[in-house]
Amino acid sequence: MTAPYQRILVAIDCSDESADILCRAAGVLEGNATGELHLIHVIEPLALAYGADVPMDVTDLQSGLVKQARETALEYARQYQIGEDRIHVELGSIEKTIVDKADALGVDLIVVGSHTRSGLALLLGSTARGLVPGAHCDVLAVKVQRKDKKSD
């Protein structure tokens, strides 16, 4: 029999659906007093997100986004007694940053939301699908309905 999951990394985009994803992840650790939940939110650097050099200094803007995202992540974390040291707000490309953090923390499960897609969006693929090839642990995709974002 395989061992129960012990350390889980939950990827949140800080939208309202994050609560549903966290609830699922917490459910996986139910009854496991030594299990650990970690939260990650990734901010894509502006130049990366726009695919070109941004002709201005965006350092202040980026640190404002990081601060705001951390506060939102903290609100979610409080509901599940997740300590500040288990909240990770990182700059980078979303899938790679999540996989790298999962490796660094030695997690055995990544939990991520997954929106149902149709039409052209199908071609773009989902975050969950993008994670699977590079991940060295299991990936749980929680089906979610699109809701409004709280930050960035």
Under the rule (CB under 6 A), what is the footprint of ligand AMP? 11-13, 17, 21, 40-42, 94, 112-115, 126-127, 144
Closest to ligand AMP by CB, 6 or 93: 93
**3-state DSSP assignment of residue 120:** coil
Q: What is the largest CA-CA distance in the chain?
A: 56
- Measured CA to CA, the distance from residue 17 to residue 72 in angstroms comes to 13
In contact, 149 and 19? CB cutoff 8 Å: no
Closest to ligand AMP by CB, 70 or 115: 115
* Cβ neighbour number for residue 31 with a 10 Å cutoff: 7
- Distance in Å, CB of 62 to ligand AMP, minimum: 13
- Distance in Å, CB of 36 to ligand AMP, minimum: 18
Closest to ligand AMP by CB, 2 or 121: 121
Closest to ligand AMP by CB, 87 or 144: 144
* Residue whose CB is nearest to ligand AMP in the complex, by number: 113
- Distance in Å, CB of 55 to ligand AMP, minimum: 24
- Distance in Å, CB of 83 to ligand AMP, minimum: 19
- Measured CA to CA, the distance from residue 117 to residue 133 in angstroms comes to 20
Nearest to 94 by CA among 139, 48, 137, 146: 48
